[in-house]
């Protein structure tokens, strides 16, 4: 069975600096999708970025980028030029290809210091 681990319960960063959130996963599937979701205090979960396993190029969305290491089963999220609006819970999720369900990590709370 697939598992997703986020080892950092909480991270803090100074506004305008860069922060990296860690995620590791375990799977025997060869092709799959990985996602980072953001959940602000209002609780609406929104997609930040996605990565397909067979693509070697790391995904990038504006200030958000990932470092995908398939052999190491690592999928970290880098946030550049952190902004106050980035403060939220960040969840890493693995999409199980057998039924397309998401397996979620426990989340990392990101605090932005002004």
**Residue 107 backbone zone (phi > 0: left; psi -120 to 50: alpha; other: beta):** left
Please, which residue, 30 or 43, has the CB nearer to another protein? 43
| Three-state SS at 85 | helix
Pull the structure tokens for residue 18. Answer: 């860069």
* Residue from 7, 12, 47, 81 binding another protein (CB under 8 A): 47
Please, which residue, 28 or 44, has the CB nearer to another protein? 44
* Residue from 16, 45, 61, 113 binding another protein (CB under 8 A): 45
* Residue from 52, 61, 81, 113 binding another protein (CB under 8 A): 52
């Amino acid at each position: 069975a697939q598992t997703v681990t986020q080892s950092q319960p909480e991270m803090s960063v100074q506004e305008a600096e860069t922060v990296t959130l860690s995620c590791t996963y375990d799977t025997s599937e060869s092709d799959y999708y990985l996602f980072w979701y953001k959940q602000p205090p209002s609780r609406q979960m929104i997609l930040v970025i996605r990565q397909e396993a067979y693509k070697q190029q790391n995904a990038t969305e504006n200030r958000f980028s990932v470092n995908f290491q398939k052999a190491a089963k690592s999928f970290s999220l880098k946030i550049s030029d952190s902004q106050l609006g980035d403060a939220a819970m960040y969840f890493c999720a693995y999409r199980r290809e057998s039924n397309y369900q998401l397996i979620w990590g426990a989340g990392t709370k990101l605090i932005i210091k002004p």
